[in-house]
Structure 1
Amino acid sequence: MKVSSSDPSGRTLGAREFLGDQHIQRDYELLGEQLQARDPNLAARTRLVDPLIAHYHLRLGEVSEAQRAFRRIVQDPNRNDTATSCFCQ
């Protein structure tokens, strides 16, 4: 059973492969590029959270650690909300 794509870019998924974090991250990168090209203002307010960060900090961490990680994702250093949309996988 193969877990990761043989294409290191994460762009393709073989018939006998499972969807992995690298595929989701690559989709987020492509989505971010397209969003930036079409609507830079919306792109600036959208957070596409790396699957590893979402898994380790938001799912497995203590509640206080997860809250701090989430704030770092959606707030600037002055604790102003900078995101209107946040996607986590």
Structure 2
Amino acid sequence: MYQQQRVVARNPALYAIASIFVAGLGTALCGRVGSGLVIFVAVVFAALLMAIPFIGLLFIPLWFVAWFFSAYHGFKSAKEWNARHGIIS
């Protein structure tokens, strides 16, 4: 009578890679669009701060940390989504 919905596992590595190419994309694809946008804005803001002459060099580590956090958060979001849906990943 009712059809059961099929839930497909999300590949955490794929979501991390998506976040490497576009900051926050992996998080947004997992359904956390607001968090994905905040991460994207943080990475863009850090990149803009790097454009300031001389002082901008100090913000390079901040940019790397924000970019790494983006990939990590995409990975973690996919793992959490799988866990919420009863999928072991």
Same fold by TM-score greater than 0.5? no
Q: Which has the higher helix share?
A: 2
Q: Name the larger-Rg structure.
A: 2
Q: Which has the higher strand share?
A: 1
Point out which structure has higher relative CO (alpha carbons under 8 A, 6+ apart). 2
